[in-house]
Structure 1
Amino acid sequence: MADKQISLPAKLINGGIAGLIGVTCVFPIDLAKTRLQNQQNGQRVYTSMSDCLIKTVRSEGYFGMYRGAAVNLTLVTPEKAIKLAANDFFRHQLSKDGQKLTLLKEMLAGCGAGTCQVIVTTPMEMLKIQLQDAGRIEEDPGCPGPALGPGGCPALSGGSSCPSAHGHPADPRPAAEPWHCRSLQGTRGHAAQLGRPASEEKSPFYVSFLAGCVAGSAAAVAVNPCDVVKTRLQSLQRGVNEDTYSGILDCARKILRHEGPSAFLKGAYCRALVIAPLFGIAQVVYFLGIAESLLGLLQDPQA
């Protein structure tokens, strides 16, 4: 279904539906990704995604896998609204006389939309990561401190230090977040076009779904090193002997020095398992035209 044939209200409804379904389905995997990425300097509470989820259920119960999900579920619709509206704006600015966009321009439009989306996602991601990672700190035997807060040690910032024998260093990080944009967004639409029978027809259902999954997996793995740095910078709680970071470059250098290049791929398969279904679900929702059907019923109640 071509973008020009879908109204903005329909896009917002489709995006919200896809987001709510997607977050509900894949959030436990996202929680495992965050906890795996935050393990450093040989302290391994979890050995794999399955080990993380099993230990989470045992120690925190089934709903422990959904720590922080309420944040995502609450803000997923405004997040989609900003991204979709910005994507339409950039696509319009980059198009010439309504001509089809090239792959490069599709990627530029996606990059611009992703940059605007950060306005919503950065605070949301930061809060979500604190909630997701709290269980990992609780599992860390080197930081018991049950009276010091939900993570064993309080979430400290602004140069404070852990007021106990845990030995947590002061956290000198400024309140700055890494710049992050998702320039591979445009590959989803390009991939879907590869299976389109003719330029006027929409892609078959299976092509639309697979295109979303393939594009999501490629994007997930490609930007995983940036996501590891982002997750580390946004995590306020620290376990024993875990590094603190003063910025993006400092974080990248310490990860490389203390954990090696492979650390930048921590949680990559989890990201692929998270993002691929999200893209696939979004493609299916748009393919089915759920919002268009709902809007049609509202406009014609007797239909």
Structure 2
Amino acid sequence: MSGDTRPLPFVYQFAAGAIAGVSEILVMYPLDVVKTRIQLQVGTGAQAEYSGIVDCVTKIVKNEGFSKLYRGISAPILMEAPKRATKFAANDEWGKFYRKQFGVTEMNQSLAVLTGATAGATESFVVVPFELVKIRLQDRTSKYTGMVDVVTKTVKNEGILAMYQGLEATLWRHIVWNAGYFGIIFQARALLPKAETPSGKTVNDLISGAIGGTVGTLLNTPFDVVKSRIQNTVKVPGVTPKYNWTYPALAMVYKEEGFAALYKGFLPKVLRLGPGGGILLVVFTNTMDFFRGVYYKD
């Protein structure tokens, strides 16, 4: 963690979160496409279209073209700036709020988990419409031509509130991931040897961020599976969707496909969010350090 922890105005936190988020998605996005494809397939074993990451990437490139690995990236690019900015800014602001409420001056493990969970809930309200667009574009059978087409047809055929379909599942996904992520990086940073150089700090941030991202992914993947299925379901008037609410959907996936199905897409997800969490943390902390140098310049 940086030795300089002087506070910065919200606009700097927002900008640093945006830069970190966009940097991460540009590097790791193809794994998100693979994750969604695997999560949306209902079959298991020999019935599954994709047997794993390599098989999925190979079939996408062979049958659909390399560009499909970046299918729907416009929505995440537009989403990542406010999403990541909200994540880190909300984590910082909620942290200040809880420290004041509980009368403590330093963050501890329990407050780190509580703060992360609350920041995740805050973040969810920003990301749901973008996630819905992304999921519907990433689906192999998608008939949409692009982001605007998804929004137009969804609002026209299902109503404007349909853009927030899957909000409940997204809340659970983000609360659990952020609680795990911010809780673990707090503990990991405390356990790692104190960095004496900028390069040592970067290594510590990469390690703690990757561990946090991995643990968060382990905890929230079942919620991510049902969120993908809920958001990819086009609602028809008078028909109750198969996947509608989080916990009934979790029970249905478990009953029909087994426990392992709740972790469909886990490997590409953890490969993205583990290293991605490290990239995110390194870029964010270094950007904040740069901004502090500018803001507090004598």
With structure 2 as the length reference, what TM-score do the two structures score? 0.78
1:205 CA displacement = 2.4
Query: In the alignment, residue 265 of structure 2 is paired with which amino acid?
Result: G
Specify whether residues 127 and 157 from structure 1 end up closer, same or farther in structure 2 by C-alpha distance, changes over 3 A only: closer
Displacement of 1:72 in angstroms is 1.1
Establish whether residue 128 from structure 1 lines up as the match of residue 134 from structure 2: yes
Q: Does 1:246 align with 2:244?
A: yes
Residue type at the aligned position of 2:75? V
For 1:106, the equivalent position in structure 2 comes to 112
1:197 aligned partner, one-letter code: K
8 Å Cα contact 2:210-2:278 kept in structure 1:
yes
Q: Is the alpha carbon distance of 1:106 and 1:291 closer, same or farther for their aligned partners in structure 2, counting shifts above 3 Å?
A: closer
Q: Give, in whole Å, the separation in 2 of the partners of 1:204 and 1:299.
A: 21
Greater Rg over alpha carbons, structure: 1
Matched residue, 2:194: 197
User: 8 Å contact 1:33–1:267 — kept in the other structure?
Assistant: yes
Q: Against the structure 1 CA distance between its residues 295 and 63, is the aligned structure 2 distance closer, same or farther, given a 3 Å change threshold?
A: farther
- Give the whole-Å Cα distance in 2 for the aligned partners of 1:9 and 1:193: 28
Instruction: Select which of 210, 215, 218 maps to 2:215.
Output: 218
Percentage identity across paired residues of the two chains: 26
Letter in 2 for 1:252: L
1:18 match:
20
Deviating beyond 6 angstroms after TM superposition, the runs of 4 or more aligned structure 1 residues are 155-158, 297-300
**Where does structure 2 lack aligned partners over 5 or more consecutive residues?**
158-163, 236-240
Q: Indicate the residue corresponding to 2:93 in structure 1.
A: 89
Match of 1:75 among 63, 66, 79: 79
Q: Which amino acid aligns with 1:100?
A: E
- SS state at 2:281 partner: helix
Cα deviations by residue, 1:132-161 (Å, 9 ceiling, x for unpaired): 11xx227xxxxxxxxxx459xxx9989x9x
Partner of residue 29, structure 2: 27
Tell me by how many angstroms 1:57 deviates. 1.3
Q: 8 Å contact 2:226–2:243 — kept in the other structure?
A: no
Correspondence for 1:46 among 47, 50, 59: 50
Aligned length: 267
Alpha-carbon shift at residue 110 of structure 1 (Å): 0.5
Tell me what 1:271 maps to. Answer: 269
Q: Shift in Å at residue 63 of structure 1? A: 1.5
Q: Structure 1 residues 205 and 292, CA, compared in 2 at 3 Å: closer, same or farther?
A: closer
Query: Which consecutive unaligned segments of at least 5 residues does structure 1 have?
Result: 139-148, 161-173
Q: Which amino acid aligns with 1:271?
A: K
Corresponding residue number in structure 2 for 1:207 = 204
Q: Which of the pair is proportionally richer in helix?
A: 2
